[in-house]
């Protein structure tokens, strides 16, 4: 183990967006970061390692964790961030499409935690899952995504009870985090009580706190990070 990087974090879905932001933040804080993503063009932050992996596949996850045990020889933090959306009317959503979203967004966390349990217990480590405010509120045609994120919130507190006190498990539910596309309009920014749309750094800062020593009394919790939108009462004009 490289003593310059005494703590090791594994970030799923870390090739871009929120996952990449978390990986970069942890690397900047001195962690050695292993990024797992199915994007063959992805990369890890400097000093880390990138592994092409479909974290919804049991065999691939087993191989990934064996490599962490062999190369890094420890694991202090697991960030379960992998996820995607298929937005279709429910009448057009196939069972295969439904299952693909649930597998990547929800089952992958089960597979990753199950495979890393021994390493995390040995390190007295922490898990952070990345859910969504869509676990609590919805737009039309998002059934598979909402179900997967709601399941992730529940899975988080179940894992916290099963793995404690050795391993702490917490959940972050982001709202609108700008990871791609055009800059939001002034109206879209001011719709948020915080005055702006979120950035990946907002989620990364909380994730870094939740896997660090100052959050030692926090487990089984969900943190909604949405600029206050889910607390805003909205009436028709």
Helix, strand counts (H, E) of the chain: 7, 7
Domain that holds residue 91: 8-228
Residue 173 covered by a domain: yes
Catalytic choice (145, 152, 159, 160): 145
235 is catalytic: no
**Size of the chain in residues:** 237
* Strands in the chain per DSSP E: 8-12, 32-37, 49-52, 77-80, 126-130, 168-174, 222-225
Q: What is the CATH number of the domain that holds 166?
A: 3.40.50.720
Total domains in the fold of the chain: 1
Residue 1 covered by a domain: no
pLDDT at 2: 44
C-alpha distance across the termini of the chain, in Å: 61
pLDDT at 4: 52
Task: Tell me the pLDDT band of 72, cut-offs 50, 70 and 90.
Answer: very high
The average pLDDT across 176-191 equals: 93
Residue 188 covered by a domain: yes
The pTM of the full predicted model, rounded to 2 decimals, is: 0.95
């Amino acid at each position: 183990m490289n003593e310059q990087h005494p703590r090791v974090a594994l970030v799923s879905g870390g090739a871009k967006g929120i996952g990449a932001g978390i990986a970069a933040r942890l690397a900047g804080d001195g962690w050695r970061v292993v990024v797992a993503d199915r994007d063959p063009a992805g990369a890890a932050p400097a000093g880390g390692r990138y592994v092409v992996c479909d974290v919804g596949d049991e065999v691939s996850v087993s191989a990934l964790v064996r490599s962490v045990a062999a190369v890094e020889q420890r694991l202090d933090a697991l960030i379960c961030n992998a996820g995607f959306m298929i937005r279709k009317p429910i009448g057009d959503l196939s069972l295969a499409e439904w299952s693909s979203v649930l597998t990547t967004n929800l089952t992958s966390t089960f597979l990753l935690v199950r495979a890393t349990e021994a390493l995390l217990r040995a390190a007295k480590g922490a898990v952070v899952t990345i859910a969504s405010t869509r676990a609590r509120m919805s737009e039309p045609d998002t059934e598979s995504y909402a179900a997967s994120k709601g399941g992730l919130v529940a899975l988080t507190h179940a894992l916290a009870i099963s793995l404690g006190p050795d391993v702490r498990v917490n959940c972050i539910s982001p709202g609108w985090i700008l990871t791609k596309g055009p800059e939001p309009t002034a109206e879209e920014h001011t719709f948020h009580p915080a005055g702006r749309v979120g950035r990946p750094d907002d989620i990364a800062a909380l994730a870094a706190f939740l896997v660090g020593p100052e959050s030692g009394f926090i487990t089984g919790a969900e943190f909604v990070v949405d600029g206050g939108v889910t607390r805003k009462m909205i009436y028709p004009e």
